[in-house]
Chain A
Amino acid sequence: MMRLPWFEYRAPRSIGEAARILAGEGPEAMLIAGGTDLLPNMKRRQMAPKILVSLRHIPEMKRNGSALGAGTTLTEIVTKTELPLGLRQAAHQVATVHLRNMGTLGGNLCLDTRCNYYNQNYEWRKAIDFCLKKDGAICWVATASKRCVAMSSTDCAPALMAIGARVKLVSAGGGREVALEDFYNNDGIDYLKRRPDEILTEIKIESSASCYWKLRRRGAFDFPVLGVAAAIRSDGDIRIALGAVASRPFLVDKANEFLKGKKLTDEVIEEAGRLVASRAKPMDNADLDLYWRKEVSADFVGYALRELRGDDMRATRLRITRYAL
């Protein structure tokens, strides 16, 4: 049976207090919000922090205004119709209802990277002599790789990246704001540029026309094996962001450069799809055939740009996601 390891639980009432605890305890302490990612990982001993600092009892984390509090649950995101559609579509396709009721936007952005050889219980990982990401020396996905290739599996990050979101990080020493695209490293182990003493407190977004398309095997409960987000910024530029095809979500600069100032004709959409597909580098560490996943990224870009253009994509969306938001 998988049980949680022992830990000390702290429940600060303000961001300042939480930041002070983090500063005092050092890397032994970890933050917990909804716990939907962290607690199963702790049961599998992928991490065993001595202290958990809860963000659930901090009203500021739930703030709502020009910036979204990182503690806003995914269900709340879905129900707020004033939020950009792409973000709501992404939040709606995370896991299942129960997990969305607990999981938070900040938690989804900081989601641990995933891999077939990592997201297993301790005994199984021990049986294969562990892996690069945790306790081992070899990457079982790419045995010659010196770098961990675990996959970024957040749905909300590409959706937010496309609309140009910025995140605020607060530590005991002060705060800083970074564009979401600068928040991630393409490294399965060190995947966030967040320092251990920093708290992701809020996400600043501008409203813009946007959409998010997610590839997974089933209509619910699956992590993405490809996420395509597209948005029209206020200056008219179109931005495409990809998720789940690398250790980080990223803006596809080559395609975004190409799309600058162009009208979304069928030819432009097709070329953009080709450019994006050339940047998608899925690995053999998740569901579905990896060559197929790379191949269909162009089609998914097509769906996203057509939806952005105003085409009626509901039938396609229903076929692929089983639910149209």
Chain B
Amino acid sequence: MGPSPAYSYTACVVEAEVEPKTGWISVPKIWIAHDIGRTINPVLARGQVEGSVYMGLSEALMEEQVFRRLPPKLSSALVHKIPSLLEYKSLTSLDMPEVDTVLIEDPDPNCPFGAKEAGQGPLLPVMPAVANAIYDAIGVRIDELPITPDKILKALELKAQGKPGRVGPNHFPAVPYPEPLIVPPPWEGGDGKEVKKNDAAAVV
């Protein structure tokens, strides 16, 4: 995660309530357990983890970049609809749920004092956990962020029509990925520079 040499793991449980008539989402509580290696400063470490919950939940429910295409007679340019932090929203303290933080200590011998990281790892499971909690609450899947009440109503409407109750992009964007380069490490006979030609199957 970021500059950390180790892999950290986080588990997150989200409690969500959805009002079926309006799609209004409330998140009263979040439990988060973070594998930190060793906690050096417990207060700061918890603060980092809870801050990640805050950022993750903001990303899940609010933060968005919206662009609007102007009509052709006005240049067809894309205009940013939310160009300032006034309208680019993140949670306020009133929107923040109760957070139950657990630090899992399993010192990593390759890390300083056995400590891994607590900065960004705990952010990542929050968004999928919110999406899953909403699915559990109301039975529809929102496949893009932010998850907003209007998308929930749209998905509920689709579901009522007998279609899949999903809203979001329906395909993965066509990314022109380059061919993978395979550089065998010394213990596989390479010198660290030689590029093995195009034979992914040969390297296990």
Contact = CB atoms under 8 A, between A and B. Distances in A.
Interface residues of A, number: 29
B44 interface: no
B181 interface: no
Interface stretch (B1-9, B16-24, B35-43, B112-120): B16-24
Q: Chain A interface secondary structure, helix, strand, loop or mixed? A: loop
Contact of A218 (B82, B91, B148, B153): B91
B152 to A, nearest CB: 10
Given A143-B74, A296-B22, A299-B21, A219 B83 contact: no
B150 A218 contact: no
A143 B70 contact: yes
B84 A120 contact: yes
B200 interface: no
Contacts of A217: 62, 89
B21 A218 contact: no
Contacts of A257: none
B95 interface: yes
B24 A319 contact: yes
B71 interface: yes
Given A289-B148, A319-B17, A299 B22 contact: yes
Contacts of A60: none
Contacts, number: 62
B48 interface: no
A291 B150 CA distance: 8
Interface in B35-59: none
Contacts of B17: 319
Contact of B71 (A143, A220, A221, A299): A143
Nearest to A322: B94
Nearest to A299: B22
Nearest to B82: A116
B128 interface: no
Interface of B: 17, 19, 21-24, 26, 62, 68, 70-71, 73-74, 79, 81-84, 86-87, 89, 91-95, 148-150, 153
Given A295-B153, A296-B149, A299-B21, 10 more contacts: A119-B86, A143-B71, A218-B62, A218-B89, A220-B92, A288-B150, A289-B150, A292-B150, A319-B17, A322-B94
16 contacts: A116-B82, A116-B87, A117-B79, A124-B83, A128-B79, A217-B62, A218-B62, A218-B89, A218-B95, A219-B94, A284-B68, A289-B148, A291-B150, A292-B150, A319-B19, A319-B26
